[in-house]
Amino acid sequence: MDARSIILRLREKETLTSEEIRWFASCLADGTVTDAQAGAFAMATCLNGLGEAGRVALTQAMRDSGDVMAWDLPGPVVDKHSTGGVGDCVSLILAPALAACGAYVPMISGRGLGHTGGTLDKLEAIPGVNTEVSEEKFRQIVGALGCAIVSATGDMAPADKRLYAIRDVTSTVESIDLITASILSKKLAAGLETLVLDVKCGSGAFMDNPEDAAALARALVDTAKGAGCPTLALVTDMNSPLAPAAGNALEVRECLRVLEGRSEGVLLQLTAALGGALLLAAGLATDEAKGRSMIRAAITSGQAREIFAKMIAALGGPEDVRETCLPEAPVVLEVCAREAGVITKMDARALGEVVVHLGGGRLYGGQKLDMAVGLSDLGRVGDTVAKGAPLAMVHAADEAAAERAAEAVQAAIILGATVEADPLVLETLQ
């Protein structure tokens, strides 16, 4: 087999065999296909698709490109993964909250992808944190604290690690096949017993309409269950950034606010919704409402905050993480509403791109991020804004970047008369 003929067949809309897909995945892992070939494979998959059997084959091949973990722990081994959004920092709150509820959460996360932020980049905004740990250390932290959020170790799903970084900078993210294989290869390699997926839908998601989001959710749930992992998916709104901030350190700050009981917004609501569904599915809650209140109690009691702090210290960060540990941008610019009105539309993808262009995401492979930049004080669709009131604060490295970002923010937030805000959870699929 050779990469050129596989890419050609995919380009010509022919159906690849499972053997060809397995071969390509193993070559991604061992480096024998080049970045150019991987990029071409990703683009041809985005354009023409692999078909259902191909998607399953790619998922399994990427999972098997490295080690598959097994656990022997005194509680259920669970996880959640999002398909990617703007201001989506649920994982940083949910993992320790689940651990406080008696679950074990070996969370293998990713870096920023396209216009969306990545959990690993956010964690590494905390000085000293290193998410690239050995399998031994990963096991030790999960066993001791109940959760660890890390990068796939060198030996886990290496095919995804490589393809993910290439997709990030080649505009090849929006594919049901590639997203399914990417998410599930990591999750299945982590040896989970139950998984909840947060499938984002809207202007800041990779799937911007409910039909495509439901199709992605269906593909994810069916593929995961087919591989033996009980899974459910919540399709959730991404027409507004989830947290009122987007950017690595700024999102960590929002998470600390939630974990310290200082914020009650939709970030907390969605954390409780995903956690409640997962606790029920894992047998730790008798119904979803009970599960949601268990998550909220784990936060209000301070237990989740304590576990989060211990996890940060175990990953090399400060002993007692707090807002003051986080880097701050030298320029902070207020973006004011030019007229009064209701936010009728937000181009959340454009807001995510603002963060990328400020230096908070990658425009090319290996780019070093500016952890301090981004947007804060963001509203949501449905919020009323007075003339001259802030639409957002831009955090930038210099004045010129701040001015450019401010213009882009003005264009991305549309004010009007009235709007019906979308529900936070659109649909649940089992």
Which string of x and - marks every residue 263-292 that binds ligand URA (by CB under 6 A)?
------------------------------
Q: 91 catalytic, yes or no?
A: no
Collect contacts of 12-17 with beta carbons under 8 A, ≥24 apart.
Answer: 13/48, 15/51, 15/53, 15/54, 16/50, 16/54, 16/57
86 binds ligand URA (CB under 6 A): no
CA dist 112 and 110 (Å) reads 7
Nearer to ligand URA, 172 or 194 (CB): 172
Stretch that binds ligand URA, among 30-38, 133-141, 177-185, 405-413 (CB under 6 A): 177-185
| Among 124, 91, 253, 125, CA closest to 133 | 124
Q: Give the nearer residue to ligand URA in terms of CB position, either 174 or 260.
A: 174
In the complex, which residue's CB is closest to ligand URA? Answer: 182
Name the phi and psi angles at 261, rounded to 5.
70, 20
Query: Is residue 83 near ligand URA by the rule CB under 6 A?
Result: yes
Between residues 173 and 246, which has the closer beta carbon with respect to ligand URA? 173
Q: Is 333 in the site for ligand URA (CB under 6 A)?
A: no
For ligand URA, the binding residue among 179, 197, 233, 337 (CB under 6 A) is: 179
Task: Report how far residue 43's alpha carbon sits from residue 24's, in angstroms, rounded to the nearest whole number.
Answer: 14
What string of DSSP letters covers 136-152?
Answer: HHHHHHHHHHSEEEEEP
Active site residue 203: no
* 357 catalytic per annotation: no
Residue 65 binds to ligand URA (criterion: CB under 6 A):
no
Residues within window 117-176 making contact with ligand URA, judged by CB under 6 A: 173
Q: Give me the residues paired with residue 183 across strands.
A: none
Residue 356 gets which letter from DSSP?
A: I
How far, rounded to the nearest angstrom, does the alpha carbon of residue 182 sit from its chain's CA centroid? 12
Which residue number, 82 or 303, has a Cβ lying nearer to ligand URA?
Answer: 82
Question: Which residue has tokens 């989970």?
Answer: 192
- Find the catalytic residue in 45, 82, 116, 185: 82
3-state secondary structure of 232: strand
Which residue, 270 or 333, has its beta carbon nearer to ligand URA? 270
The residue from 39, 85, 110, 352 that contacts ligand URA (CB under 6 A) is 110
By C-beta, is 113 or 408 nearer to ligand URA?
113
Annotation marks residue 182 as catalytic: yes
Tell which residue, 405, 346, 78, 45, has the closest CA to residue 205. 346
- Assess whether 122 carries a catalytic annotation: no
Residue 244 in the binding site for ligand URA (CB under 6 A): no
Judged by CB under 6 A, the residue of 3, 183, 272, 274 near ligand URA is 183
Residue 178 CB, nearest approach to ligand URA (Å)? 6
Q: In the annotation, is 187 catalytic?
A: yes
Tell me the longest C-alpha to C-alpha distance in the chain.
Answer: 63
- Is the Cβ of residue 39 or residue 84 nearer to ligand URA in the bound state? 84
d(CA 130, CA 128) in angstroms, rounded, equals: 6
Burial of 12 (0-12, 13-18, 19+ CB in 10 A): exposed
Q: How far apart are CA 231 and CA 144, in angstroms?
A: 25
Active-site residue, selected from the candidate residues 161, 167, 305, 310 = 167
Residue ranges with strand state E in 8-143: 78-82, 105-109
Q: Is 234 in the site for ligand URA (CB under 6 A)?
A: no
Three-state DSSP at 298 gives helix
**Smaller CB distance to ligand URA: residue 190 or 415?**
190
84 forms part of the interface with ligand URA (CB under 6 A): yes
Q: Is 182 in the site for ligand URA (CB under 6 A)?
A: yes
Pairing of strands 331-336, 374-376: unpaired
Name the burial class of residue 30, with classes exposed (0-12), middle (13-18) and buried (19+) by CB atoms within 10 angstroms of its CB.
exposed
Closest contact distance (angstroms) between CB of 140 and ligand URA is 24
Smallest distance from the beta carbon of 342 to ligand URA, in angstroms? Answer: 31
Q: Is 395 a catalytic residue?
A: no
Q: How far is the CB of 79 from ligand URA (least distance, A)?
A: 12
| 113 near ligand URA (CB under 6 A) | yes
CB-based contact 292:276 (threshold 8 Å): yes
Q: Are 104 and 142 in contact (CB under 8 A)?
A: yes
The residue ranges that bind ligand URA (CB under 6 A) are 83-84, 110, 113, 173, 178-179, 182-183
- Active-site annotation, residues: 79-82, 119, 167, 182, 186-187
